[in-house]
């Protein structure tokens, strides 16, 4: 199967630049348990060899082509319409692809299938399809699909008198519900992959068969920059969620005193490691410290900061009054001293590291429990999708014009 995929991408290298470089942003993996022939998400392109063995090379290429188009449109990463099930999202994505790209071998959902107008957005289709599927607004990502699987498994059907039309109906429903759900199973907001794809799109010189409406749509989707403020606020929110304590002194909003309520400790403790090696410019450091001053608006009272290159400097405490920062170091870079220090101080709930990433992977101490967030000066410093930085923590980018 991998050989067949290799032949396809070799052809793309010659005449489909946009598809080829988008394909290269993801890892390729085989998955025999999924219901889709090919699906994307979590930085991977997954292929079911058992299903793909039964289709022609032309059908395989078009199936792969559709999934790579989804990557370029960022449907699996950037745009997850609220209130829409994964089935509606998959079908909405299908409508956008089929409406803007001519398919010869596949049959995808079209706007006409749902009595919807053409040339609309992914969000428009997903929300309207969700409404048509569930006019009472009862569904969510966690309900109907799982209930269907549970109530129609082999054990629940065993011993029942099922005639052939009923079997056909179950097969039809499986294709209509389970396959789209499987297709979009790994779709979730991912600012890191969004930035990678936007950078890829910016480097495309030839759009090949994607030229036209689809090219314009893909380019337009890159206009909105990643808001690092949201990522930093979300990072702090994830820390605060760990501070939740159950108490009977505060009633539960839904069930009163019958259930434990929640209380949060807002005394969040953060430490920031600042890479002061020679590859970080003074302008970059200025932008970063300006960002940190904004970070106090999220409710943080004080933040510990430490500068490092190959060695760790002195830990100081920043507050809102901090205006002038003296920069020391300017040597090489090693993350190891910073991670060792954080592991030795479990009182920190989160650690932010400002760096351009030009250093070796650190060895994480086994007892390190602190959440990590990497902050990069620009999108050009973003590492590859399979980088170890992403495995350690979140990644966000500060653009100079933000």
Instruction: Quick: pLDDT tens for 271-301.
Output: 889 888 777 777 677 767 766 666 665 556 6
**Taking 70 as the threshold, does the pLDDT of residue 372 lie above it?**
yes
Write out the two tokens for 222: 């890159």
What pLDDT is stored for residue 402 in this prediction? 37
Residue 246 β-bridge partners: 262
The answer to whether domain 228-397 has CATH 1.10.1660 is: no
Q: Residues of CATH 3.40.50 domain(s) within the chain?
A: 228-397
What pLDDT is stored for residue 36 in this prediction? 94
Write out the two tokens for 293: 């001053």
- Give percent of the chain above pLDDT 70: 69
Q: Is the dihedral of CA 309, 313, 319, 324 positive or negative?
A: negative
Instruction: Quick: pLDDT tens for 197-233.
Output: 988 898 899 999 998 888 888 887 775 444 555 555 5
Q: What's 13-30 look like in SS3?
A: HHHCHHHHHHHCCCEEEE
What pLDDT is stored for residue 350 in this prediction? 84
Q: For residue 231, what are the CA distances in angstroms to 62, 237, 295, 298, 358?
A: 36, 10, 11, 12, 22
**Taking 80 as the threshold, does the pLDDT of residue 54 lie above it?**
yes
Distance from C-alpha of 289 to C-alpha of 165, rounded to nearest angstrom: 67
C-beta of residue 35 within 8 angstroms of C-beta of residue 184: no
What pLDDT is stored for residue 229 in this prediction? 55
Write out the two tokens for 49: 């060899």
User: For residue 327, what pLDDT band results from cuts at 50, 70 and 90?
Assistant: low
- In 3D, which of 192, 227, 191 has the Cα closest to residue 401? 227
Check residue 294 and give left, alpha or beta (phi > 0: left; psi -120 to 50: alpha): alpha
What pLDDT is stored for residue 32 in this prediction? 95
Side-chain half-sphere of 173: how many Cα atoms within 13 Å?
A: 13
The secondary structure of residue 225, as a DSSP letter, is: P
Mean pLDDT of the chain: 77
**Taking 50 as the threshold, does the pLDDT of residue 110 lie above it?**
yes
């Amino acid at each position: 199967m991998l050989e067949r995929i290799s032949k396809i991408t070799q052809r793309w290298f010659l005449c489909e630049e946009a598809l080829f470089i988008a394909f290269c942003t993801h890892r390729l993996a085989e998955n025999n348990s999924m219901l889709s022939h090919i699906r994307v998400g979590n930085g991977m392109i997954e292929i079911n060899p058992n299903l793909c063995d039964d289709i022609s090379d032309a059908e395989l290429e078009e199936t792969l082509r559709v999934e790579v188009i989804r990557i370029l449109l960022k449907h699996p990463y950037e745009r997850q319409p609220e209130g829409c099930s994964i089935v509606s999202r998959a079908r909405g994505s299908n409508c956008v692809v089929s409406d803007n790209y001519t398919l010869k071998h596949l049959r995808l959902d079209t706007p006409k299938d749902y009595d919807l107008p053409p040339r609309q957005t992914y969000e428009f289709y997903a929300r309207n399809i969700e409404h048509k599927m569930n006019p009472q607004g009862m569904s969510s990502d966690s309900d109907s699909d799982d209930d269907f699987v549970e109530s129609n498994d082999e054990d629940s059907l065993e011993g029942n008198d099922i005639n052939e039309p009923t079997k056909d109906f179950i097969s039809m429903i499986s294709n209509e519900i389970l396959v789209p759900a499987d297709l979009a199973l790994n779709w979730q907001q991912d600012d890191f992959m969004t930035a990678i794809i936007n950078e890829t799109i910016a480097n495309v010189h030839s759009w090949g068969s994607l030229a036209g409406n689809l090219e314009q749509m893909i380019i337009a989707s890159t206009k909105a920059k990643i808001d690092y403020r949201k990522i930093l606020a979300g990072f702090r929110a994830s820390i605060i969620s760990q501070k939740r304590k159950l108490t009977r002194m505060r009633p539960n909003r839904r069930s009163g005193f019958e259930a434990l309520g929640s209380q949060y400790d807002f005394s969040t403790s953060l430490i920031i490691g600042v890479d002061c090696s020679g590859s970080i410019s003074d302008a970059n450091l200025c932008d970063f410290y300006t960002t940190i001053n904004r970070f106090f608006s999220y409710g943080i009272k004080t933040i510990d900061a430490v500068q490092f290159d190959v060695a760790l400097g002195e830990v100081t405490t920043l507050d809102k009054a901090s205006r002038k920062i003296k920069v020391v170091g300017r040597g090489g870079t090693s993350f190891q001293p910073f991670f060792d220090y954080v592991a030795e101080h479990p009182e920190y709930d989160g650690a932010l590291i400002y760096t351009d990433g030009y250093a070796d992977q650190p060895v994480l101490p086994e007892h390190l429990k602190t959440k990590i967030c990497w902050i990069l000066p620009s999108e050009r410093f973003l590492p590859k999708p399979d980088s170890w930085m992403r495995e350690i923590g979140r990644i966000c980018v500060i653009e100079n014009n933000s």
